[in-house]
Amino acid sequence: MDNISYFTILSLSEPNAVKSVKHIYFAFCLILYILIISCNLILIIIIILEKTLHEPMYIFLCNLCINGLYGTAGFYPKFLSDLISDSHLTSYSGCSLQAFVIYSSVMCEFTTLSVMAYDRYVAICRPLDYHSVMTNSTLVKLLVFSWLCPTFCMGTAIILTSRLRLCGSHIDKLYCDNWSMVKLSCEPTIINNLFGIIVILMYVFLVILIICSYSKLIVDCMKSIESKNKFLHTCLPHLLSLLNFTIALLFDTMYTRFGSMDLPQTLRDFLALEFLVIPPVFNPFIYGLKLTEVRKRALRALINFKAANSL
């Protein structure tokens, strides 16, 4: 690492065909980022202010929105700056920080979705035990787990990468990620690879647990109309969110590890950005529209806001 202090990052404004319209990209990305901030903040504020929503399911949803803001903050400000800048240099520490924020957010998304699946499993399959199982203490432990595990995994990965001596400084991506930095190493990366495999297997295990819990839920919910309706109103958003985020992350993995230079640049950029664009906007909308209590509170807040402005 001692011979590399800065990295050059791929930019949308590098191709000559794009230079003349980079201000359009900037405007679009800025509007998208404002939309992400607004949608997630609205949901967070509604859940915090409405005491009737201070239940585990909604608190986990609030955590999901906070994580969405955290992850996108690691990408959009730097990306917007790069769009209007002629220099696309980033320091080693800045690159490591961006990789840490973006991918710890990715891991936190999965851990949060896993604890949400557990919460729904207890609520629907063991309704009589729900309040004795999902106590405030359990809630806090699950929230700590959803953040502590990703922080430890990504922090360890960044520390292992910092040991390596790098022979290159160009990252062929629109943002920094740990794997792109590891690929620039002049030294063997066996330890990094092994740790990466362990982390991947751990999160694959989490995904399997989520699938198993929802399979059990679906089987139990088919037994009565009441349980079926409960599943459709509270679990379907979780499944849609999981499916959306998993597909988005697969796109990123395909781009990072198996991306071909033969693919069109636009497609390569989309594969790299999909999980930073779609899920942060998708989650607030799907939960806000599908969860009845959240939708009611949002509509009531909107009506009160309009009434206050009309006075």
Q: What is the CATH number of the domain that holds 137?
A: 1.20.1070.10
The residue behind tokens 């079926």 is: 228
Decide if 34 contacts 96 (C-beta within 8 A): no
- Residue 202 included in any domain: yes
- Residue 275 included in any domain: yes
Query: Is residue 259 predicted with pLDDT exceeding 70?
Result: no
Query: Is residue 2 predicted with pLDDT exceeding 60?
Result: no
Per residue in 120-155, pLDDT tens? 888 888 888 888 999 999 999 999 999 999 999 999
Cα separation of 34 and 37, whole Å? 5
pTM of the model: 0.85
- Residue 160 included in any domain: yes
Q: Are strands 6-9 and 89-91 parallel, antiparallel or unpaired?
A: antiparallel
Bigger pLDDT: 237 vs 174: 174
- Residue 179 included in any domain: yes
Decide if 298 contacts 290 (C-beta within 8 A): no
Query: Is residue 100 predicted with pLDDT exceeding 90?
Result: yes
Q: Which of 40, 272, 262 is nearest to 175 (CA)?
A: 272
Q: Average pLDDT of the chain?
A: 81
Query: Is residue 310 predicted with pLDDT exceeding 90?
Result: no
Q: Which of 41, 50, 121 is nearest to 296 (CA)?
A: 50
* Domain span at 253: 6-310
pLDDT for res 141: 95
- Number of domains within the chain: 1
The residue behind tokens 């800025």 is: 30
- Residue 1 included in any domain: no
Per residue in 25-82, pLDDT tens? 888 889 999 999 998 998 898 888 888 888 898 899 899 999 999 999 999 999 888 8
Q: What sign does the dihedral 219-224-225-230 (CA atoms) show?
A: negative
Q: Which of 160, 162, 153, 152 is nearest to 92 (CA)?
A: 162
Decide if 33 contacts 80 (C-beta within 8 A): yes
pLDDT for res 288: 66
HSE-CB at 189 with a 13 A cutoff on CA atoms is 22
Cα separation of 232 and 65, whole Å? 21
pLDDT for res 292: 65
Q: Are strands 170-171 and 89-91 parallel, antiparallel or unpaired?
A: unpaired
Per residue in 150-195, pLDDT tens? 999 999 999 999 988 888 888 878 888 898 899 888 888 899 989 9
How long, in residues, is the chain?
311
Q: Which two tokens mark 192?
A: 């990094």
CB-based contacts of 135: which residues, under 8 Å, 6+ apart?
A: none
Q: Which two tokens mark 146?
A: 């959803």
- Residue 229 included in any domain: yes
Bigger pLDDT: 103 vs 284: 103
pLDDT for res 237: 73
Query: Is residue 94 predicted with pLDDT exceeding 60?
Result: yes
- Residue 287 included in any domain: yes
Cα separation of 154 and 150, whole Å? 6
